[in-house]
Amino acid sequence: MAFTTPEIDLESPVVVPASGATYLDQTDATTYFANSFKSTAWAALSSTEKDTALAEATRWLETLCWKGEKCDPAQPLAWPRKVDATKCCTEATCITLPPAMVQAVAELALALHSNQGAMIGTTVATAAVGPVKRQKLDALEVEYFDPRSGASTATNALAPSGPLVLQKFSWLRDLLKCYVDLGAGNLIRRVRS
pLDDT (mean) for 98-110: 94
Angle between helices 26-33 and 99-114 (to 10 degrees): 90
Residue type, 156: N
- Range in 22-31, 65-74, 87-96, 165-174 with the lowest mean pLDDT: 87-96
Residue 142 pLDDT class (50, 70, 90 cuts):
low
Give exposure, 137-173, as e/b (b: 16+ Cβ within 10 Å). Answer: eeeeeeeebbbbebebbbbbbbeeebbbbbbbbbbbb
| pTM metric for this prediction | 0.69
- Please give the residue that has the higher pLDDT: either 4 or 47: 47
